[in-house]
Structure 1
Amino acid sequence: MSTSIGNLSADNHVKARIDRQFENMSPALQKAAAWLRKNTYKAVFMSIKDIALAAEVSDATVHRLCSVLGYSGFNELKKDLKADELSLRTLRRLEKNLEAPPSSFMQKAIEIELQNLQQTFTPELESSLHEAADMLISARRVYVVGWRMTLSVAHSLYYQLHLVFGNAVLIPSATEITEHLAFIGEDDVLLAMHFPRYSRIITQTVDEAKELGARCIIMTDSPLAPSFSRSDAALVAATDSPGFLDSYVTPLLISQLLIQLIALKQPDQIKAQLRKQEQLFEDFGMFRP
């Protein structure tokens, strides 16, 4: 019996279809199929012409490959490629790491984090940070959403935003999303963490918030995120890691930079608020002298 993953059974993964049909393919089809099997993630973002050029085959060969694999067309193939990329993500990463364990685990982790930073910190990110900061500064309320592994990033952003503005709301679980959405409006901002495996509830939350007139800021790892196209600003952070779970070092750094940028844009307001906080800390004797 096949194992069901979302709407895609294990027997119907693109790679499984290629493996079943590979021996019966022509040399040209085998060349295209071999490239596709090795480059699933890249192919999600590519056109037929792009794939044909990369695999060094004709456009017609890519069209024929879709048909041989049992798809009605290229769009249907890409839909399954995307599902393939997201399903069993953690298990596949673990298997890959077990096949070739690094000689120095710590050194490998540092190298991957440096790669994440290099991939993430681009002029596009800087522009998006400015857009996000301006939205947060002008917001009546900021609703922050992020669960499971992304809760660390969501809670950090919530705490810092509430510290300086006093208008942040952390939605603690999916079970309370409707109660909070009932109050969201045109002057509000939804700040959502949307990382693999891309929660459907987060997607629906973004859609509902947009319908209610709110602006949406998405922090994610890729334009593959279902909510990416619906966002008013997207902060894309690489989350690769040497382990089987994603790393949130870079998203946490982005959250800190976002707050720093807000402080640079609103220095007088932030200074006044921090002075109030310090006075209250002193009044309550919260910390040792």
Structure 2
Amino acid sequence: MDNDNRDLIYRIESSFNRMSKGQKLIAEYILNNYDKAAFMTASRLGEVVGVSESTVVRFANALNYDGYPKLQKALQEMIRNKLTTVQRIEMTSELEQSMVLKSVLKADMQNIRQTIEEINNDSFNDVVDKFLQAQHIYILGLRSASPLAQFMGYYLNFMFDNVKIVTSGVNDILEQLFHIGKGDLLVAISFPRYASRAVEAMKFSKEQGAHTVAITDSMLSPLTAYADHSLLARSDMVSFVDSLVAPLSLINALIVAIGQSRKDQISKSFQKLENIWEEYQVYVGKNKAKHSDKD
């Protein structure tokens, strides 16, 4: 259990004797059912425990959290990498069908807001420079992160001729990284539940002398242990589906920033591509040659 998780448990246990009867009921429930409590609203938690919503809010304040949402976030962080998909579904069973659309969209918006607030601009710019300097670029994404790697690699291939996309396939991951070495760049994309092979790939690439970049959700991610740079994007989920909206926005920003540094080369590449697209009627309609937003 990491330090943040121990801190939450410690707060509850060290404050227990000073709590009111109602607050103790909440504390006991959370300690025994933290996986369920993490996705309950304050009113729902109060209902299950048998106390008022205001008692739940006071409980959060007694633990020095700035309101119940902060306590709930701490609970979710504690369990997010341990939940199975079945548990994720069960945890959100309280969500009304009529609220699904708004809840998911609001969660994605919040993920982007937090990513903007927490992103390290210096690290971002350093990573852009590493792309421009790399002899070979490897973009790795496994399982649900695979589409992100494919998307990133698709655009980078318009700017560089040294990009390799590494995903699950016929060859083992480490076999696909066999030639990586000093002067090369590995970008590994992984979010809870983190793919163990992604961590192994980071470790292997680091040992081979490559520069390593992790695109992940938190400094608690196992990828960061082997990363020279870590770019963090929130991926807090509403259900069994991973939220990859903020990670995709971060990748978009990287592509744009890299593109600005290679304007001349990109212009030549796309001019040639426009001619190819038009000749082979890649896009539908009269303006097909003006579309560069692929299939």
Matching residue within 258, 265, 276 for 2:261 = 265
Matching residue within 252, 255, 259 for 1:256 = 252
- Calculate percent identity across the aligned residue pairs: 29
By how many angstroms is 1:226 displaced?
A: 0.7
Change (3 A) 1:207 1:150: same
Distance 1:158 1:169 in 2: 7
By how many angstroms is 1:215 displaced?
A: 0.6
Matching residue within 216, 222, 227 for 1:220 = 216
Q: Verify the 8 A CA contact 1:217 1:233 in the aligned structure 2.
A: yes
| Consecutive unaligned residues in structure 1, runs of 5 or more | 1-13, 41-52, 57-80
Match of 2:231 in 1: 235
What secondary structure does 2:138 align onto?
A: strand
By how many angstroms is 1:90 displaced?
A: 3.1
Matching residue within 87, 94, 105 for 1:92 = 87
Could you report, residue by residue, the CA deviation over 1:16-36 in whole angstroms, capped at 9, with x for unpaired residues?
xx9xxx9xxx83699696597
Following superposition of structure 1 onto structure 2, how do residues 127-146 of structure 1 map, counting pairs within 5 Å? 127-146=122-141
Distance 2:18 2:153 in 1: 53
Task: Normalising by structure 2, report the TM-score.
Answer: 0.68
Q: Which amino acid aligns with 2:197?
A: I
RMSD between superposed Cα atoms in Å: 3.4
Match of 1:47 in 2: none
Change (3 A) 1:194 1:160: same
Match of 2:147 in 1: 152
Distance 1:229 1:172 in 2: 21
Distance 1:124 1:207 in 2: 24
By how many angstroms is 1:104 displaced?
A: 2.2
Q: Which amino acid aligns with 1:107?
A: K
Change (3 A) 1:96 1:271: same
What secondary structure does 2:172 align onto?
A: helix
What secondary structure does 1:217 align onto?
A: strand
What secondary structure does 1:245 align onto?
A: coil
Asked if 1:211 corresponds to 2:218, the answer is: no
Matching residue within 23, 27, 33 for 2:17 = 27
Match of 2:178 in 1: 182
Distance 2:116 2:230 in 1: 13
Q: Which amino acid aligns with 2:243?
A: S
Task: Normalising by structure 1, report the TM-score.
Answer: 0.69
| Consecutive unaligned residues in structure 2, runs of 5 or more | 36-60, 65-75, 287-295
